[in-house]
Structure 1
Amino acid sequence: MLDHTPAHAGGRDGAAMTSAPAVAITHDFMEIYGGAERVTQELASAFPGAPLTAVLGRRSVAARMGVADRFTSVLPPRELLLRGYRVLAPALPAVVHHHRLDDADVVLSSSYAFAHLFETRNDAPQVCYCHSPLRFAWSMTEHYEDEKAAGSKLTRTAFRAMAAHNRRVDYRGAQHVHTYLTQSPYVAGQIEEFYGRRALVVGAPVDCSHFTPSGTAPEDYWLICGRLVEPYKRVTLALEAFRDLPGERLVIAGDGPAMAELQAKAPPNVTFLGHLEDDAVVKAMQNCKATIFPSRDDFGLIPVEVAACGRPVLAYGDGGALHTVVPGLTGEHFHEQTAGALLDALRAFDPGAYDPAAIRAHALKWDRAPFTARVQAVVAAVAAGTAIDEAAVTLS
């Protein structure tokens, strides 16, 4: 068991916790509805009375998450900010620190950037569901430097200084977190490496009652689904590969800041669907012959959602996909993050070689109900100041 008993164990007044804890939920950026927002939506559903505070977010995204009536955006959700908030990264920790939340028994943060820096007026302990330590400061600094600061030596120097500053701030913030939760052993390893903290792997929630097989034969297209953010998602690799596969069709479902750039690069056999509502996303997954997942994600909900629909996945063999995609059972890995390696893997991949029932059975371990129960148990223990039953809340 983990025993991280806080100084104010037992809740805000130090008494034994006898009712559901008062929880404050925090999130980073809700400019579009993606994987992190799906997880935060489940956290909000697990604690239906909890207010949700984001550094910046659209009211429309909050409505889609079902939290519009309890949602606060610290920064005003103006279109200019929503498009360009990434340039504010050096200042955002200070913005978060100056926004004290109301008293609570526990802060439950859903963080890949700054959400774990929020504090309450009564310094409540925090349970942080960490999607990833801040990527541009830790795990993807060189990628972001090449993409965002390649213009001159001066811009590279400035970027490195910014990343170093954010690493220091991020590390200090991480030491104030009471208990870390995460979705995969891959991210747990990053949390230990970068923060010196141990994390419990509780998985990620997938609504396996919504993502289901269609029961009909798939159509003749490959699918990429998700937020279009480069260089992180590496959709460009697929565009280059499909340029050499004119007889194959690729459908890309999703939106994001890189969409216009990707459309300009795309060969004629690639179709962009843009943003899709939930039912249309499920239909696209059900009907594809296979889904391509070219990024190194810390977890990646898409491979599990596709698996719940009974369809195989061809994924880059790193990060969370090492745990969510099982070669020979639910799909395959390609092992170099290049267009050539993806092209070779596509030519060798037989989507009909996988059993849809076996693929779905693998996905069920991430179903939303057991995920919710694990998170609720951790939050209740932290609020009460009792030890966490590690075996009961860790995904096997």
Structure 2
Amino acid sequence: MRVAIVHDWLYVLGGAEQVLREILKCYPNADVYTLFDLLRPEDRRKLGFETSHTSFLQKMPFLKRHHRSYLPLMPLAIEQFDLSSYDLVISSSAAVAKGVITGPDQLHVAYVHSPMRYAWDLQHVYLKESGMESGIKSVVARSILHQMRMWDARTAHGPDAIITNSQFVARRVKKTYGRDSRVIYPPVTLANRDVILPVGNHFLAASRLVPYKRIEPIVRAFNEMPDLELVVAGAGPEAERLKKLAGSNVKFVGFVPDNDLRDLMTTARAFVFAAEEDFGIVLVEAQSEGTPVLALGKGGARESIAGSGPRPTGMFFDKPDPQSIVECVRSFVAREKTISRLDCRHRATLFSAERFRNQFVAAVNEELERFRAGDQGLETPRLIA
């Protein structure tokens, strides 16, 4: 059986790339197709492949820094891949990968991280970050995004089966595409420590410093709690502005390598997160380090964090504003000793890479059996003399 794996694009190693890595472990001889691949050879090897098939976007200028500018060309680019020689096509899609063209004798299983958020619920954030909130550029951009939404909805009927990364995304897929899906939570790299480091005095926030990650309300919240220390890890265009807003109890450490970030997690009193995520791999990573999570009670966080019950692993706040965060942090401090760090580590094991691989292969095999049974159930047409 020939297998092709289609991934949106490759320029950083993020959560979607963790999924790609584990899918490649399931199908190690698969060919990788992607709109563009800017990874270093050593990063490709980390994911489990040496070379990839790319589209015409690979040769476009300023691609790494301005790939969103090529969004209007992405549907055309993804449709140019010739996958006709493959029996099984697996797409890993947060944008356009699910739109690859396959034939009736090919099984296409799409792992959907999210419907294309640039075109749907994050349209206004995208326009703001791109400086296109008003004027003629805004009119053009909104028209293009309208066309993208129509293409996205139309191509949602291409995959034979859709798998989503959370119940939250499954509801968005149902609302956006009108399709049911199976939920398989994404793989998370769990902590692997011989020595557990002692808990320090800091709380931790970590993400790319961009508006929709909502680091600002966390910083403002800790400005109102000068007796508590906050460490902010991450880099991005909001960094300098946020530093000017921060009080003396808020420390910015910039981008830190994964091992150092894990040390900051495991020594933190709690991990604070105010963004609405489709799943939120970093929330599970923090729990795997034994760290309770204080998060906005929306999106995938509701599924990865146990906020109640006999073994809670964190707490939720209702709004991504400073006052709600302050109330949550103060409540946590009052009951900090009732949340077991061992329970946090146990909770994270529910989202292991091994669990993902087992569930993913089982789901694909089930779809293959259904697909083949459907072929056998077709009547042979009678020739008319």
TM-score past 0.5 threshold:
yes
Aligned to 2:269: 289
2:9 aligned counterpart, secondary structure = strand
Aligned to 1:132: 114
Aligned to 1:26: 6
Aligned to 2:214: 234
Aligned pair partner of 2:100 in 118, 138, 144: 118
Task: Flag the 1:78–1:295 CA change in 2: closer, same or farther, 3 A.
Answer: same
The answer to whether residue 142 in structure 2 is matched with residue 142 in structure 1 is: no
Given that 2:109 and 2:161 are in contact with CA atoms closer than 8 Å, whether structure 1 keeps it comes out as yes
Given that 2:17 and 2:47 are in contact with CA atoms closer than 8 Å, whether structure 1 keeps it comes out as no
Task: Flag the 1:264–1:100 CA change in 2: closer, same or farther, 3 A.
Answer: farther
Q: Give, in whole Å, the separation in 2 of the partners of 1:263 and 1:103.
A: 53
Task: Flag the 1:327–1:154 CA change in 2: closer, same or farther, 3 A.
Answer: same
Given that 1:133 and 1:191 are in contact with CA atoms closer than 8 Å, whether structure 2 keeps it comes out as yes
Aligned to 1:5: none
Aligned pair partner of 1:302 in 282, 288, 312: 282
Deviation at 1:277, TM superposition (A): 3.5
TM-score of the two chains, using structure 1 as the length reference: 0.83
Aligned pair partner of 2:200 in 191, 203, 219: 219
Deviation at 1:368, TM superposition (A): 1.4
2:4 aligned counterpart, secondary structure = strand
Task: Flag the 1:178–1:239 CA change in 2: closer, same or farther, 3 A.
Answer: same
Deviation at 1:32, TM superposition (A): 2.0
Aligned pair partner of 2:358 in 369, 373, 382: 373
Aligned to 2:380: none
Matches within 5 A, 1:1-396: 21-60=1-40, 62-63=43-44, 65-74=46-55, 75-76=57-58, 80-101=62-83, 103-119=85-101, 124-149=106-131, 151-208=133-190, 210-211=191-192, 214-228=195-209, 230-256=210-236, 258-259=238-239, 262-263=242-243, 266-328=246-308, 329-350=312-333, 351-384=336-369, 385-386=371-372
Task: Flag the 1:264–1:32 CA change in 2: closer, same or farther, 3 A.
Answer: farther
Q: Percent identity?
A: 29
Aligned-residue RMSD, C-alpha: 2.8
Runs of 5+ consecutive residues of structure 1 not aligned to the other structure = 1-20, 389-396
What amino acid does structure 2 have at the position aligned with 1:346? V
Task: Flag the 1:373–1:343 CA change in 2: closer, same or farther, 3 A.
Answer: same
Aligned pair count reads 366
Given that 2:35 and 2:58 are in contact with CA atoms closer than 8 Å, whether structure 1 keeps it comes out as no
TM-score of the two chains, using structure 2 as the length reference: 0.85
What amino acid does structure 1 have at the position aligned with 2:313? T
Give the number of the structure with larger relative contact order, counting CA–CA contacts within 8 Å between residues 6 or more apart.
Answer: 1
Please tell me whether Structure 1 or Structure 2 has the larger radius of gyration of its CA atoms.
Answer: 2
Q: Give, in whole Å, the separation in 1 of the partners of 2:30 and 2:237.
A: 31
Aligned to 1:15: none
What amino acid does structure 2 have at the position aligned with 1:245? M
Task: Flag the 1:214–1:189 CA change in 2: closer, same or farther, 3 A.
Answer: farther
Deviation at 1:268, TM superposition (A): 4.4
Deviations 1:263-310 (A, max 9, x none): 565544433444444333322221111111111001111111111221
Task: Flag the 1:65–1:254 CA change in 2: closer, same or farther, 3 A.
Answer: farther
